[in-house]
Amino acid sequence: MEHIRYIFTLIGRHLTAEHHQAVDTLFQQYDIQSNNVKQWASQTPYQVSYFEVTSALPIEQLRTLCLSFSNTHHIDLAVQTFTTLPHRLVCFDMDSTLIGQEVIDELAKEAGIGEQVAEITERAMQGELDFDASFRARVALLKGLNTDVLAKIASRLTINEGAERLIKTLKQQGYHTAILSGGFEYFARFLQEKLGIDEVHANTLNVVDNEVTGEVTSTIVDGARKAFLLQQIANQQNIALEQVVAVGDGANDLPMLALANLGVAYHAKPLVREQAKQTLSYVGLDGVLDLLNAQA
């Protein structure tokens, strides 16, 4: 059976001898041949080890092993196939990925229906509800909300750990960056300006006379739309899908995570962690840089 070359990346806030021993044990148990181990100073605050290996196991099984390892040892382990093409495009989900909030929940709080909407949001992100239907239902509940609250909400949004370092580094290295959000354009534009993101695609919050109408009049940025936009941006930038990175946390991010070469589930819902190509659950968003450096 043919052995294929892979790169395993072990990322932690503090790597110990026990962590490396656990990786060695995993490799021995599944006949994964480690050919080279690299450790060097990271661009992030984390400690990183790269293992160049060969294995006859399919990539899907190796990813399952990584997820099980991460769950057991509470440290991130990811696997990638070797590629000679440099990554050039990174597409981000916004809510609970770049920022710590779900903006629609923050709008609902201002409307006095926070718990009701938050429950629907959680079920949608877990993949339990159809995203489009649940989105329309949540927006309908916002009818009559005054738009004066938008700036107030934007001012209290929190940028997730490592996001600013990640975006700054990507810009310095010439990456094209985009927000593909099932949230609202107003807040995506706010974040675009704050972080220096190249382009934004999100939902329009329909407003008449400074009040939310409760209706959705534009194409909803759901999972299928995110995948379409990722492909469209790549085509416009003359970038192959093998050069694309996508990062998200919810079930509606799975289509774009599957389409990208490097599809990272960041502090994600269980369903997303199980299905994504790579996961980061124990470090900040800048851990994506360490996954990118695995191919350096």
Residues identified as active-site: 93, 95
Q: Other CB atoms closer than 10 Å to residue 162's CB: what's the count?
A: 20
* Cα 24 from chain centroid (whole Å): 28
Q: Are 131 and 251 in contact (CB under 8 A)?
A: yes
Q: Are 136 and 183 in contact (CB under 8 A)?
A: no
Which residues on adjacent β-strands are paired with residue 37? 51
Contacts of 149 (CB under 8 A, 6+ apart): 107, 110
Q: Other CB atoms closer than 10 Å to residue 118's CB: what's the count?
A: 17
Residue 251 tokens, joined: 């079930």
Cβ-count burial 11-48 (b if 16+ within 10 Å, e if not): bbeebeeebeebbeebbeeeebeeeeeeeeeeebebbb
